[in-house]
Amino acid sequence: MGFINQDIKPLDTKINNSGNLEIGGCDLSEIAKKYKTPLYVIDKATVETMAHDYKKAFSALENVKMVYASKALMTSAVAKIFHDCGFGFDVVSLGEMYTLKNAGIDLSHATFNGNNKSPEELEFALKNNIARVSVDNFYELELLDREAKKQGKIQKIFLRINPRIECHTHEYIQTGQLDSKFGFDFSKVSETVKLILENYKNLELTGLHSHVGSQIFETSIFNDEIEVLIKEIRNIKDEFNIQLTEINIGGGLGVKYTKEDVPPSVYDIADIIIKALDKNCKLYNVEKPTLIIEPGRSLISTAGVTLYTIGSIKDIENIRKYISVDGGMADNPRPSMYQAKYSAEIVNKKETVNMEKVTVAGKFCESGDVLIKDIELNSPKSGDILCVYNTGSYCYSMSSNYNSSLRPAMVLLDKGEAKIIVKRQTLEQLVQNDVLL
């Protein structure tokens, strides 16, 4: 086993004495029976271990802040876990900010990010003392300054810049390439800083922010990104005589979804980042800024699994055998959107001698609703429980009511005990906002 993001399964995943799959001291067959399927499952020990690894990996830096990219998975209980681990938060919506408040967490621990923040979102953020706003465009600068002036505040901001770095990941989760909706282009940085200093008196520029993408395996891009940011800090100091004190390099560390994936560990990227910071601060004669790093997927993904019950089975001779489960693209749209790949195994079968190549299909009315294509499973039968690994990130947060399906429940495994942290949606809740004319 490697570090958490280099493993497919959560910590302490094993076959127990009953012959069932067990995670965190909990029998998944019993969990599925009690809470029904589809069911999201999060192992608390795995989350806490990964959070600890991040803090330890970067401990050589005197000034470093860890913030959790909430878009990966945001519930009140999950927020509380990361807060207790000493993490701040990167939020991208009114809903994520409200969830933090619901968990009893002050927004002074959060940075507000996004490419089209609404006036209502900015008003809420400032009223609740958001720590930083990462400003993405000229329109937002105007809106934010107006709101800060209205509230009689000086709002600290990052300037999000597009570093023109293209990482080799799926095009939908690249964010730092030239053709991107995110951030100010290099050519606009000087113009933007001048505008802030001269026109927007209720904004205080404290640092630069960039993000190159998600599910990243290439460590060299972090070196390139830091050089871009430090060089810009030097240019800003030379031109405007102001010293920016923070850089936010985003997150993006990849995880191991299948045995073919070989992501770097957090210790691998920490070594690259710390050395790059030292080297470039010396090269450009810049005082070392506070480093902010905002992991999401790599903190929560491996801690999560999704449990399904196998229903119908269709064997097309000499072509393919489909096994259909009671969930699919409504609770995990990633395979349909990104061609994402997953690993899985049957919960309630100890022996692994009768392996079959099958395709795991969802129940929704789309031919593209396929969760896993051509996977080896142990003689799957109707009624078996299937455990799909590494679903902690971007599954619940991207889930929908497609086909008027109900969003699944979520349980947290903690020292052999399972606790509901998101209730299963009910039929009444499904239609509660409908208006009958």
Q: What is the pLDDT of residue 171?
A: 42
Span 68-96, pLDDT tens digits: 999 999 999 999 999 999 999 999 999 99
Whether residue 388 is contained in a domain is answered as: yes
User: Is residue 184 located within the same domain as residue 218?
Assistant: yes
Name residue 419's beta-bridge partners: 412
- Per DSSP, 167 falls in state -
- Is the residue at 435 inside a domain? no
The candidate with the shortest Cα–Cα distance to 71, out of 291, 293, 264, 300, is 300
* Predicted local distance difference test score (pLDDT) of residue 221: 87
| Same domain for 243 and 111 | yes
In a domain, residue 178? The reply is yes
Domain count, the chain: 2
Predicted local confidence at residue 170, as pLDDT: 35
**Cβ atoms 81, 47 nearer than 8 A:** yes
Residue 437 lies in a domain: no
Same domain, 197 and 129: yes
22 domain-assigned: yes
329 in the same domain as 225: no
Domain end marker among 300, 328, 358: 300
In a shared domain, residues 276 and 310: no
pLDDT tens, position by position, 109-118: 999 999 899 9
CA–CA distances in Å: residue 433 to residues 396, 426, 428, 429, 437: 21, 13, 10, 8, 13
Percent of the chain at pLDDT above 90?
87
| Domain endpoint, select from 257, 283, 300 | 300
Residue with tokens 């902010």: 292
Question: Is residue 436 situated within a structural domain?
Answer: no
pLDDT for position 220: 85
**Nearest-10 crossing angle of helices 220-240, 266-283:** 30
pLDDT score at 351: 67
Residue range 362-367: average pLDDT?
94
Of residues 3 and 429, the one with the higher pLDDT is: 429
pLDDT above 80 (res 165): no
Same structural domain for residues 197 and 225? yes
For residue range 188-199, what is the model confidence (pLDDT) as tens digits?
889 999 999 999
Residue-level pLDDT at 188 = 84
Residues 234 and 373 in one domain: no
Q: What is the distance between the alpha carbons of residues 50 and 48, in angstroms, rounded to a whole number?
A: 5
pLDDT at 310 over 60: yes
Question: What average pLDDT does the segment 15-26 reach?
Answer: 95
What's the domain range around 313?
Answer: 4-43+301-430
Q: List active site positions.
A: 365
pLDDT in tens, 261-291: 999 999 999 999 999 999 999 999 999 999 9
Q: Is 143 a member of any domain?
A: yes
- What is the Cα–Cα distance from 285 to 288, expressed in whole angstroms? 9
Whether residue 376 has pLDDT greater than 90: yes
| In a shared domain, residues 319 and 393 | yes
Q: How far is the C-alpha of 13 from the C-alpha of 6, rounded, in Å?
A: 14
On whether both 397 and 362 belong to a single domain, the answer is: yes
- 84, 77 Cβ separation under 8 angstroms: no
CATH number (domain holding residue 389): 2.40.37.10
HEC per residue, 278-290: HHHHHHCCCCCCE
Please write the tens of the pLDDT for every residue from 166-221.
544 434 333 444 456 666 787 888 999 999 999 999 999 999 999 888 888 888 88
State the average pLDDT over residues 352-367: 91
State yes or no: pLDDT of 384 exceeds 70.
Answer: yes
Here the CATH number for the domain that contains residue 190 is: 3.20.20.10
378 and 256 assigned to the same domain: no
For residues 290 and 320, state if they share a domain. Answer: no
Last residue of a domain, one of 246, 266, 300: 300
| Domain presence at residue 407 | yes
**Residues with Cβ < 8 Å from 201, sequence gap 6 or more?**
145, 149
Q: What is the pLDDT of residue 219?
A: 84
Lowest-confidence range among 102-106, 337-341, 372-376?
A: 337-341
pLDDT score, position 218: 86
Residues written for the chain: 437
**Residue 181: what pLDDT?**
66
Within this chain, do residues 296 and 312 fall inside the same structural domain, yes or no? no
DSSP-derived 3-state class of residue 54: helix
Amino acid (one-letter) located at 33: K
pLDDT at 177: 45
